Amino acid sequence: MIRLHHCPQTRSMRTLWLLYELEVTFEVVLHAFDRSLRASEYLTLSPAGRVPALEIDGERMFETGAITEYLCERFPGANMGRGPSDPDRMAWLVWVHFAETISQHVAALTQQHVMLYEDSMRSPVVMKLEAARLGKCYDALEARLSTPVENRDYLLTSGFSAADVSVGQAVYMARHFRTLDDHPAVSDWYDRITDRDAFRKSLPDAAGARLYAQEFYPAWETDD
């Protein structure tokens, strides 16, 4: 039995997308992105009160990178992982975990734009700094995806993998704060990977709860 604890438009979407790619049977428990994640019952699943939390065969997991590695090893038939002897193993690990670098900057921007609900709580400096840091992450992806290597349609030369899922979901969130207009290779790659059924299934329901009320949140401009 696999049960995913999920909040729409959060890191748990990364695991949801991967589960759909793996084509395994699972169930989803939806949670609101609020104080209920700090309830004692939920903290037994994720001690920091975060999503995702994954229940699998009576065991419990948290942290998306660890969940991604475990699921790809547990269900190798979908070829979403790369084993220790695979030439792409090193790159796979790097990009799977690079998703969290992107997500840290997204989290800071989400706090500024969404969670801090009054202007007096927000910092234009932090907003602009974190948006610039997202640009540096996009630069790294652009360099990777624009390298003239055969079959570089994805992050790995060997083709689509959980690395694309992990980074792609992070970019899905990051695009709420910084566009891909200046990164054509990243934009083409993003269009390619989000044209997959598994990605579309992982999106929030049109009428359901979501973290972001806007498609894009521009950096706060001041008059000085």
Domain coordinates in residue numbering, the chain: 2-78, 89-202
> Is pLDDT of 94 > 70?
yes
- What is the pLDDT at residue 150? 65
- Choose between 221 and 166: higher pLDDT: 166
Query: Model's pTM, two decimal places?
Result: 0.95
Q: pLDDT band for position 9 (50/70/90)? A: very high
- What is the pLDDT at residue 11? 97
> Is pLDDT of 206 > 70?
yes
Q: Read off the pLDDT of residues 162-192 as tens digits, 9 standing for 90 and up.
A: 999 999 999 999 999 999 999 999 999 999 9
Question: Could you tell me which CATH number the domain at 89-202 has?
Answer: 1.20.1050.10
Is the CATH number of domain 2-78 1.20.58.2240? no
Transcribe the chain into DSSP letters. -EEEEE-TTSTHHHHHHHHHHHT---EEEE--SSGGGGSHHHHTT-TTS-S-EEEETTEEEE-HHHHHHHHHHH-GGG--S--TTSTTHHHHHHHHHHHHHHHHHHHHHHIIIII--SGGG--HHHHHHHHHHHHHHHHHHHHHHTS--TTTTSSSTT---HHHHHHHHHHHHHTTTS-STT-HHHHHHHHHHTTSHHHHHHSPPTTS--S-SSS--PPPP---
